[in-house]
């Protein structure tokens, strides 16, 4: 073995495996798409507590994925090692919103497509996905379910409250009923006819009605 053989390694040869121009283009495009994904996430967020760190994670995830895939595409041996290394990684962070999963896959997919050299596909697909999310996530539906909790004094006030609600909403279903001496509590699922919710004020002012509460309902929790 000569002195030159010591420095003749695949590691040194891989230094020029990816050009600086390719690195710059992929990273700039990944950053741009990451910011776009973060913007869509911020506009379509409908959870209880907004997490700015998750939005920054989307930008970083897009760039990290693009770098990893760029390295994998330049070396077949590295791709096999990368698969083995990533297979032992375990993430323990719980996903609170189902829509967050879509944003995570979007960021990863955008990074993969960019590093593969399909830049037009990455930008066109991301714009289409962002438009779909903006249209459907922020779309307000007047037929969304709501829960009305009504407290009545007697059967007469109960029937009057039900008749009043039937005339003001699109659909009414009795979910539960609790009766105590001097009080009847109803949990009703309704569908609104429009955005106006002033009928709850009128309902609470009716004779024999102690209280009336309107809350949104998505099938899993009320809030």
166 and 189 part of one domain = yes
Q: Do 217 and 147 meet the contact criterion of CB atoms below 8 Å apart?
A: yes
* Residue-wise pLDDT tens digits, 67-95: 888 877 766 555 555 555 555 455 566 66
* Residue-wise pLDDT tens digits, 16-49: 556 778 788 888 999 999 999 999 988 888 765 6
What radius of gyration do the chain's Cα atoms show? Answer: 28
Domain that holds residue 28: 3-137
Instruction: Identify which of 187, 170, 167 has the alpha carbon closest to the alpha carbon of residue 179.
Output: 187
**Length, in residues, of the chain:** 223
User: Would residue 223 count as lying in a domain?
Assistant: no
* Residue-wise pLDDT tens digits, 94-149: 666 778 888 888 898 888 888 888 889 989 999 999 999 888 876 655 566 888 89
**pTM above threshold 0.75:** no
Q: Do 192 and 199 meet the contact criterion of CB atoms below 8 Å apart?
A: no
130 and 44 part of one domain = yes
Q: Do 66 and 30 meet the contact criterion of CB atoms below 8 Å apart?
A: yes
133 and 24 part of one domain = yes
User: Would residue 7 count as lying in a domain?
Assistant: yes
């Amino acid at each position: 073995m000569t002195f030159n053989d010591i420095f003749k390694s695949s590691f040194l040869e891989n230094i020029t495996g990816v050009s600086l121009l390719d690195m710059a283009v992929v990273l700039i495009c990944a950053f741009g798409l990451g910011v776009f994904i973060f913007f869509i996430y911020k506009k379509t967020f409908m959870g209880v507590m907004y997490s700015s760190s998750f939005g920054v994670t989307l930008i970083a995830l897009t760039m990290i994925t693009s770098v990893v895939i760029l390295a994998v595409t330049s070396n077949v041996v590295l791709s096999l090692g990368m698969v083995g290394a990533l297979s032992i990684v375990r993430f323990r962070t719980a996903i609170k919103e189902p829509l967050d999963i879509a944003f995570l896959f979007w960021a990863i997919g955008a990074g993969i497509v960019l590093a593969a050299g399909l830049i037009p596909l990455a930008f066109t697909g991301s714009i289409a996905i962002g438009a779909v999310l903006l249209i459907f996530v922020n779309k307000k539906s007047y037929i969304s379910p709501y829960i009305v909790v009504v407290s009545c004094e007697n059967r007469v006030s109960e029937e009057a409250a039900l008749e009043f609600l039937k005339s003001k909403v699109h659909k009414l279903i009795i979910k539960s009923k609790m009766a105590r001496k001097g009080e009847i509590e109803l949990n009703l699922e309704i569908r609104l006819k429009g955005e106006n919710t002033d009928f709850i004020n009128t309902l609470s002012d009716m004779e024999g009605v102690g209280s009336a509460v309107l809350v949104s309902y998505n099938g899993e929790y009320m809030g």
